[in-house]
Amino acid sequence: MSIPLPSPRKQRADGAEAREQLLCCALRLFSSKGFAKTSTREIARAAGANLAAISYYFGDKAGLYRAVFTEPMGSASDDIPLYNDPLMTLDESLAGFFKGFLEPLKQGEMVQMCTRLHFREMMEPTGLWAQEVDNGIKPAHAALVGVLARHLGLSTPDDDLHRLAFSIAGLALQIFIGRDVVQAIAPQLLSQPEAIDVWAERLVVFACAMVQAEGQRRALPASRPGGNSA
């Protein structure tokens, strides 16, 4: 089923509008059919453009796919300055982390297609997902681990700190993965940008509780077997 694309937020110069239209149509097609089964001719036809426009704005099909994969949601490493300031409190760092993580949800249907595209890239890799893991996700994870280490008084991250960081990130990630389920059960939680802001605020509370629980666990005389493996 065809997914309607959101209208551009505001009118732009002809060149910017043409490029955005190509990106939107390419996102819809790449996310539903994948890179290999989507032709540039099909994208140009859907966008009401000619093939030369793709070459002009993106170079080739691979360049267009890279732009579609990276531009709408950005990279995980882009948000590091929002939470990796040593002067921030734990609440402030987590607020910056979740704000940046959940901001794309305000794009509505666009983020649903981006999420689908990312999953398709994992199953039918072109190399972009591996690059995002290396250049985006790994640095972002390392930054979050550093934040948690500072606030738990640890000089060296261990396995449990990595588990905690993955679990905190998972609080936000599950909203993207389970977006359709959330909309089916409690659509008001995603219906407005303000609702997403509230969700981000609540995740800070949940994550702080997780950090507090981990601190308490570490203060016990002995960790349970298989727990802390430095």
- pLDDT, residue 9, reads 38
pLDDT mean values, one per 10 residues, the chain (230 residues): 38 71 95 94 95 95 95 91 97 97 88 90 92 96 98 96 98 92 94 95 98 95 53
- pLDDT, residue 226, reads 52
- 83 part of a folded domain: yes
Number of domains in the chain: 2
> pTM here?
0.83
Q: Which residues are CB-neighbours of 3 under 8 A, at least 6 positions away?
A: 28, 32, 109, 112, 113
* pLDDT tens-digit series, residues 99-143: 999 999 998 788 889 989 999 999 999 999 999 999 999 999 999
- 78 part of a folded domain: yes
- pLDDT, residue 10, reads 39
- pLDDT, residue 111, reads 86
Q: Are residues 143 and 204 in the same domain?
A: yes
State which residues form the domain around 129: 72-219
- 8 part of a folded domain: no
Q: Are residues 180 and 156 in the same domain?
A: yes
- pLDDT, residue 220, reads 86
- 225 part of a folded domain: no
Burial class (CB in 10 A: 0-12, 13-18, 19+), 88: middle
- 172 part of a folded domain: yes
Q: Are residues 181 and 112 in the same domain?
A: yes
Q: Are residues 58 and 93 in the same domain?
A: no
- pLDDT, residue 112, reads 85
> What CATH number is attached to the domain comprising 19?
1.10.10.60
